[in-house]
């Protein structure tokens, strides 16, 4: 999720439109209205001809508000929990403004119990908590050298607690029994990303993993059946 030029959070992974929009354009330099007019489905049809569908070509960059509306309209009595990642990446976006926009949508849609806000930028998680402490957050970490040094010194756990996070999200290459156990001892819920091998479910069960993030939910659901 990124912040559009008009201050609206929009749901897209990349910082620009080159890959999914097949055109030039930086997300932070375009308004949410402009982004809503960009097709982000053509690339998928081109890259995956066996899965292509004509309606995908009409898909555009959704706003976070639109996504939340879908969550609220979910037919199940037990509505899904949604993980929302705030992406900053030193692109000049005001983290405080981003945090305020996201928090306002979560509170306004009454989704405090259904949304977990996560980020690699722990400062923005602190800002979310300062605005609305009841919003659940998760600290993201990837397997870089600095992060690996933090593992040895328990700094991953400390950094997560310092920003007020309830969850710690670890890349699968970082996961070990010691780290997961330490997180649990400190009251943090361990989450693993990105897992696309169904065999990981058995390991996750043994380790006491709270949740798994995957690129292939269909295969994972099949593995559970």
pLDDT at 145: 52
Residue 26 DSSP class? B
Distance CA 167, CA 162 (A): 12
CA-nearest of 88, 91, 184, 105 to 140 is 88
Helix or strand or coil: residue 168?
strand
pLDDT at 203: 87
CATH code for the domain of 163: 3.20.20.190
What domain count does the chain have?
A: 3
- Single pTM value for the model: 0.92
The answer to whether residues 148 and 224 belong to one domain is yes
The residue from 96, 130, 164 where one domain ends is: 130
Residue 223 lies in a domain: yes
Helix 122-131 and helix 155-162, axial crossing angle in degrees, nearest 10: 30
Q: Which domain holds residue 87?
A: 63-116+124-130
Distance CA 13, CA 21 (A): 12
8-26 per-position pLDDT tens digit: 999 999 999 999 999 999 9
pLDDT at 153: 45
Q: For residue 75, name the pLDDT band (cuts at 50, 70, 90).
A: confident
pLDDT > 70: what percent of the chain?
A: 95
Residue 182 lies in a domain: yes
pLDDT at 28: 94
The answer to whether residues 51 and 69 belong to one domain is no
Residue 3 lies in a domain: no
pLDDT at 101: 97
Residue predicted with more confidence, 146 or 217: 217
Distance CA 213, CA 200 (A): 11
Residue 135 lies in a domain: no
The answer to whether residues 34 and 78 belong to one domain is no
User: What mean pLDDT comes out for the span 70-80?
Assistant: 82
Tokens of 81: 């929990």
Residue 86 lies in a domain: yes
pLDDT at 83: 97
pLDDT at residue 49 is higher than 60: yes
What is the H or E stretch that residue 138 is in?
A: strand 136-141
Residue 4 lies in a domain: no
Distance of CA 122 to the CA centre of its chain: 13
pLDDT at 147: 52
């Amino acid at each position: 999720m990124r912040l559009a030029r008009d201050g609206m959070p929009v749901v897209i992974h990349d910082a620009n439109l080159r890959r999914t929009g097949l055109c030039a354009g930086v997300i932070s330099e375009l308004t949410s209205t402009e982004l809503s007019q960009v097709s982000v489905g053509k690339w998928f049809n081109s890259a995956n001809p066996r899965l292509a569908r004509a309606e995908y070509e009409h898909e555009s960059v959704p706003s976070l508000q639109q996504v939340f509306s879908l969550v609220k309209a979910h037919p199940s009595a037990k509505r899904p929990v949604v993980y929302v990642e705030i992406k900053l990446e030193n692109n000049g976006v005001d983290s405080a403004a981003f945090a305020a926009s996201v928090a306002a949508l979560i509170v306004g849609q009454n989704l405090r119990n259904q949304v977990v806000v996560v980020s690699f930028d722990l400062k923005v998680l602190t800002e979310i908590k300062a605005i609305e402490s009841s919003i659940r957050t998760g600290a993201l970490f990837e397997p870089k050298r600095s992060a690996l040094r933090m593992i040895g010194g328990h700094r991953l756990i400390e950094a997560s607690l310092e920003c007020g996070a309830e969850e710690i999200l670890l890349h699968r290459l970082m996961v070990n029994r010691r780290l997961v156990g330490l997180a649990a001892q400190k009251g943090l819920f361990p989450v693993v990303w990105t897992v696309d091998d169904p065999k990981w479910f058995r390991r996750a069960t043994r380790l006491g993993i709270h949740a798994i993030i995957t690129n292939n939910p269909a295969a994972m659901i099949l593995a559970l059946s």
